Structure 1
Amino acid sequence: MTMTSEQARWFAETFDKLVQNISTAVLGKHEVIRLVLTAMMAPGHVLLEDAPGTGKTSLARSIAATVQGSSSRIQFTPDLLPSDVTGVTIYDQSSKSFEFHQGPVFADIVLADEINRASPKTQSALLEVMEEGRVTVDGITHEVGAPFIVIATQNPIEQAGTYRLPEAQLDRFLLKTSIGYPDHASSVQILQGASVLDRSSQLSPRISLQAVDDMTQLASTVHVDAAVLEYVSRLMEETRLASEVRVGVSIRGGIALMRAAKVWAAVSGRHYVVPDDVKHLVEPVWLHRVVLDPEAEFAGSTAASVMAKILTEVAPPQERQHTA
């Protein structure tokens, strides 16, 4: 079953209401909000590389308030244990049985703050939950539920005492983006409301968790023509063949781009994906998956410049391919 034009219009209108509501708490960041909501409905997880104080916690709380979901924040530190994230089984003397106490990962929107400060073992515990959607403790599996999105952050400036995320783990994130500092007008507006410590607490819900799940299922029915699939495949292959690249985009990255493109098409009020959807999302979905050759990086090449070159060299399809 493919999404209809009417369903696409409803999806776009509903999505826009969510963005507008969150924007009253996270000012001047429409594009970032749209990307994070796209990841949630793809579904997938987000890596934010930002300096402290740019509104990452406010973004997570605002999304949770808008969709009537729960949110939690995990401050990653070098001494954080995997059980501090996932939960632990404790023996209850009164009932003489073991009880599982859920960790902060059991929330709809989880903010993993400064994930690169935790040990690789703790990082892996979170990334396993992100991939599997469940936690296994003492041989018993516990589902985290849906929707479930992890918004992980890392500070690009202060690297002392940090553990860099390996490329294989970066691949677990659907997209990577940055909130950045607000523009001048938004900064003035934020300063005017400085007495309000948490803007997200003033938000009213716009949609239920069940409706978010319905939107996720609906987005998966967006039509993708064979010509667009061919286009994405060629882009993917070119990232592997580029002389500046040591490791190109994996098939997981290609699947992530298609899932995100379906949501982005629905956000635009369409029931089909066009090449512009792909081109718009290539940077946030693929750049963190590309590993450059050290010599090329030293010479000044960046993942963004390599991707821009590939996009100019690979022509997008001009017409549909009719498949049987």
Structure 2
Amino acid sequence: MNSNIHTANNGKQVISFTKNGEYFFEKGIHAYQKKDLKRAEKYLRRAIKLEPDEPVFICQLAAILADLGEYNKSNDLLLYVLDEIDGDMNECHFFLANNYANLGLFSEAHKAVKKYIENEFDGEFYEDAQDLLDLLLDENEEFEFPEVEEDRLIVLHEQAKTCLEKGQISKAIKVLEDMVAEYPNYWTAHNLLAEALVLAGKTELAIEMLERVIEKDPTNLNAYCNLVVFYRELGHHEKVKAVIEALKVVHPFNIDHYYKVATTLGLVEEHEQAYERFQFLAKKGFEGSAVYYHRFAVAAFQTGRMQKAEALWEKSEMRDGEVAQFYLKKLKKGLLKPEDVQYNYIIPTGV
């Protein structure tokens, strides 16, 4: 821990300590050992903020996230260490293998644990890695892994989503273009690529792509939902109206699709319809993320249900506070205007 010595007015020396990354790392480890995972996560994030290139800090946060069941977020950190900081940090492969196994991605888990065993024959986790490999072999005795391609698609899709969340638009487009070329009928990649193209300012190209998807797969709900938002952005009012009318009568059995329709109706300012869809999800016991509660709150606010909006933003705040805190503060002061309240999970600028 760094320290500085100062002289007080009475002539005595006063030692002040600088709280560096190591300080918060140790606090995080202490909380982790006491099974206080949320506090441990908080301290590790502070440590990483102070020393963002320290791989041990990042790996420890990845371990905490895995214990919290946030396997994809944990993997993002581990892959970041391998790709950007230290490609020889082989324990990352072991942690990745565990996460993939927990996600049911057994072929990816097998590849990761094999890489660890090959590189760390006397490593700290060698015996655990051998045990994990045995479990994976038991899962499929012939080790054919018929779902290898599906596993790979899921991993690539998550990689592209992570790139978009980090603002790495070009990198995401490259991953998705390769996926579309290799798996031309994997419509999920087409939809995500369209979203990436819009973020890159290529909305017309995104629309052309989704229209081709619908020609080949006329029941592709995600493509319709994305299209109506893109049409609206370019002012294609008649096309917007036609798709909205179609979406109003669609009630998918799949909960994720139902949520997508609710969000889309909100984005095109069909607030009452959006609110009814979110309310239906709530009645079905749907428990979502901070983003879900935020969007539900926006629909409530835009339809004049202020108390409901406040309660929903409070739920969002409990899960991930920053955006919800912004809206709650404005709402309680009576400063929220409909034009300032948006479904996108960001803090509006200029408000």
- Between Structure 1 and Structure 2, which shows a larger proportion of helix residues? 2
TM-score by length of 2: 0.23
Larger Rg: 2
